[in-house]
Structure 1
Amino acid sequence: MLNAQSLIYLSLCYLLLLASCDPHIAYEKNTRIDDYSWNRDSVALFTTRITDTAQAYEIAVNVRHSNFYPYTNLVFTVQQQLASHTDTTYSVELSLAKEDGRWIGKSAGNLYHIKHSVLKMHHFSDTGVYHFSVQHHMQDHHLKGITDVGLVIAKQP
């Protein structure tokens, strides 16, 4: 059973969690990469329902990597699919480091996070359930140092 002090603490944590939510985020999910080794055949999958085609959205990819990542860039594709339509694929080359080798992005210890916009002011063609996939296209079949890959869909003002 919770005592009064524990209940107050949990209530404050809940309020902080609610306050930290971005009202423009329509969808966000990150997928953990096992053993920090992203297999080229292992596709990160995301599913969301779109209900408003008049709304403009930004579609972005979250990438989190360690400082042991062996390259300064990441090449990947984002595939968008609606059950009743053909697929649309976007190819992306993302710089992860500056020319002098310093990592770009927000850091926490030896981890770095970059949110990269794939599409800005995107209007979905129809309502319904959309499936997205993210797959790397680097030379290494097992790409070391990538810890998480995610998808963010945000409403544009």
Structure 2
Amino acid sequence: MHRLFYFLALTTLLSSCGPTTIYEQDKPLPEAGWAYQDSARFDFAIPATEQAYDLVLKLEHGTAFPYQNFYVKLHTGFPSGKRTTEEVSLQLAGDFGAWLGDCNSEVCEQEITILRNAKFAEAGAYYLTLEQFSREPVLGAIGSVGLAVRETID
């Protein structure tokens, strides 16, 4: 009986460890491929300016994806109405071609932290729009994109 109590206490303690996710959403992409016009918008709220957050892009791609990396444009909207845009390279494979994500024989899932330990100047509603910005007008083998906003653990 005592072992059961300790096991439950340990399970509860371990499950409470780790970052708190305040937002997470995945968006499937068309089977025909991710075209320039197929942007993915994620609307999230930052509740506290004193808390630091990590913004994590989530990607699902086929193991037949032909590139080591590809570029995206990130458009960020702030509660004040300000908007920023930046180009980011998303690295999917290492220097010798091995996929960096969690893969099986057909699909890889990968998380890429695009902003680490960030404190936001304003609490409120934000959005991040993600659009593919590669050499290909339609980028095949990308199944879904997602965004997670997690509280940073000190």
Report TM bin, short chain.
0.7 to 0.9
Report the TM-score when normalising by structure 2: 0.82
**Residue of 108, 125, 129 corresponding to 1:129:** 125
Query: 1:82 Cα shift?
Result: 1.9
Whether 2:138 is the aligned partner of 1:142: answer yes
Moved more, 133-142 or 97-106: 97-106
Q: Residue 105 of structure 2 corresponds to which residue in structure 1?
A: 109
Where in structure 1 are there 5+ consecutive unaligned residues? 1-18
How far off its partner does 1:83 sit? 4.1
Give the TM-score, by structure 1 length.
0.81
> Which of 26, 31, 36 is the equivalent residue of 2:27?
31
Structure 2, gaps ≥5 residues long: 1-14
How many residues are paired up? 139
Identity level (%): 25
- 3-state SS of 1:35 partner: coil
1:84 to 64, 74, 80: 80
Shift of 1:87: 1.0
CA drift at 1:72: 1.0
Q: Is the 8 A contact 1:24 1:154 kept in 2?
A: yes
Q: How does 1:23-102 map to 2 (within 5 A)?
A: 24-35=20-31, 37-102=33-98
1:36/1:146 contact within 8 Å kept: no
Post-superposition CA distance 1:128-157 (Å, at most 9, x none) = 111111111101011001001011110012
Distance 1:36 1:112 in 2: 18
Query: Letter of the aligned partner of 1:84 in structure 2?
Result: S
